[in-house]
Amino acid sequence: MSNNYSIGHHVFIAGFSGFLGKALKTGFARNADKLYLQNRSGIFVEEKGAKTPRQISRDPYDQKNLQTALADSQTCLNAVGFPSGYGEISPEIVAKSLAGNLLHTDQLAQTAAETGVKMFISLSSMAVYYQFLSPQVRVANENSPLELPPQLLEMAEAGLARFRAHPSSSALTSGEDVFPQALLENIKNTRLAYSLGKYLAEASVRNWFPPQNSRLLRIANIYIAGDSGQRIIPSFIRKFAAGEDVVVHNLSRNFIYWADFENLLDRIISRTEPPAGPVNVYAPGCTVPLPDLARELGSYFPLSLSRIVLNENISEPDIDFTSRYPDLYAANFTSVTEGLKNVIPLQGEK
């Protein structure tokens, strides 16, 4: 593929009703003539100037319509993912997480490759570092060694092989009868299930697409004005606005403002020499302890009755980030303090 790749006028976005998918849809709609869109409700098409997408299939895994949509798309963006978090875990939740984060990506990447998509962009997560980074590493780049439990890795790969041999819509939604029961019972937290699925999904994309035709993005915590989802910043804002206690894990996270993410995404896609593997997508100097973030957000709500309650039951390593592609980070990035000034007023409070 030639350098300075253009995203194209026809784009397929999987997971367009989620946080990232919605924001990407809004961004690409400005320049694309046609957007194909996939979510749990089916497959849609939105042509330039249309007010709403038109549904072309009620089944998101309808192979005939999926193939037709991808064959007409130059670029496919995979923003699908079963959410992470620190909630309750069960074998059923583990199976759904692996289905949403791994099986969906594998099936979409295979279909996209077979129908001639020129660029496949898959959104992974920095969570792989928090779960699998070697303990002695405190600043992670894309070459930092990750240590996955060999047994879990082997069982997950066996499940993926079984799915490739016998794909089904039920497997894509629930992971039913795909993964060994021993795997589902031995994953004890949702973060591990999420991270394992995301890590293996990266390898899956590499199986179907060469580096010049794919981009794998390990993304930090994106924040944007008007977000009402369950991510850290909007969740804290809602708690302060409602006067409720803000429970904060004693962890650090990197935060990247949406405008910086969009600019970085454009540079990654059009980079003259394609990245050889995953690319870290983060904001330099914006790794923040969550208690400090909560206190800064709390300062915008001086009349709030909220208390900041520290939860020290969850422990993960403090990690900062760098990249083996320094040319991508030559631009200035928005500090968390400046970014919050843009976000807070549009959340309804200042």
**pLDDT tens, 163-197?**
999 999 999 989 989 999 999 999 988 889 999 99
Average pLDDT (85-103) is 87
Q: Is the pLDDT of residue 84 over 60?
A: yes
- Residue 26, judged by CB atoms within 10 A of its CB (0-12, 13-18, 19+), counts as exposed
> For residue 303, what are its two tokens?
């009349």
Q: CA-CA distance, 235 to 246, in Å (whole number)? A: 9
- Which string of b and e fits 56-91 if b means at least 16 CB within 10 Å? bbeebbbeebbebbbeebbbbbbbbbbebeeeebeb
The predicted pLDDT at position 123 comes to 95
The predicted pLDDT at position 177 comes to 92
Provide the whole-model pTM: 0.92
Average pLDDT (325-335) is 93
| 78 strand-pairing partners | 14, 122
**pLDDT tens, 244-300?**
999 999 999 999 999 999 999 999 998 889 898 999 999 999 999 999 999 999 999
The predicted pLDDT at position 83 comes to 73
Average pLDDT (332-349) is 82
With cut-offs at 50, 70 and 90, classify the pLDDT of residue 81.
confident
How distant, in Å, are the alpha carbons of 127, 133, 252, 253, 326 from that of 137? Answer: 15, 7, 15, 16, 19
- Residue 335, judged by CB atoms within 10 A of its CB (0-12, 13-18, 19+), counts as middle
Q: How many CB atoms lie within 10 A of CB 312?
A: 9
CB contact at 8 A, 54 and 43 = no
Angle at 48 between CA 44 and CA 53, to 5 degrees: 25
- Look-up: residue for tokens 């795997």? 183
> For residue 333, what are its two tokens?
């990035």
Rounded to 5 degrees, what are φ and ψ at 173? -95, -35
Q: Is the pLDDT of residue 46 over 50?
A: yes
| 288 strand-pairing partners | 253
Q: CA-CA distance, 78 to 25, in Å (whole number)? A: 12
Q: Is the pLDDT of residue 2 over 50?
A: no
- Look-up: residue for tokens 């790969």? 157
Q: CA-CA distance, 124 to 244, in Å (whole number)? A: 32
Q: CA-CA distance, 123 to 187, in Å (whole number)? A: 23
The predicted pLDDT at position 5 comes to 64
CB contact at 8 A, 220 and 254 = yes
- The contacts of residue 128 (CB under 8 Å, 6+ apart) are 146, 195, 198, 199, 218
The predicted pLDDT at position 4 comes to 55
- The contacts of residue 266 (CB under 8 Å, 6+ apart) are none
Q: CA-CA distance, 167 to 295, in Å (whole number)? A: 48
Q: CA-CA distance, 6 to 271, in Å (whole number)? A: 11
The predicted pLDDT at position 86 comes to 60
Average pLDDT (72-76) is 96
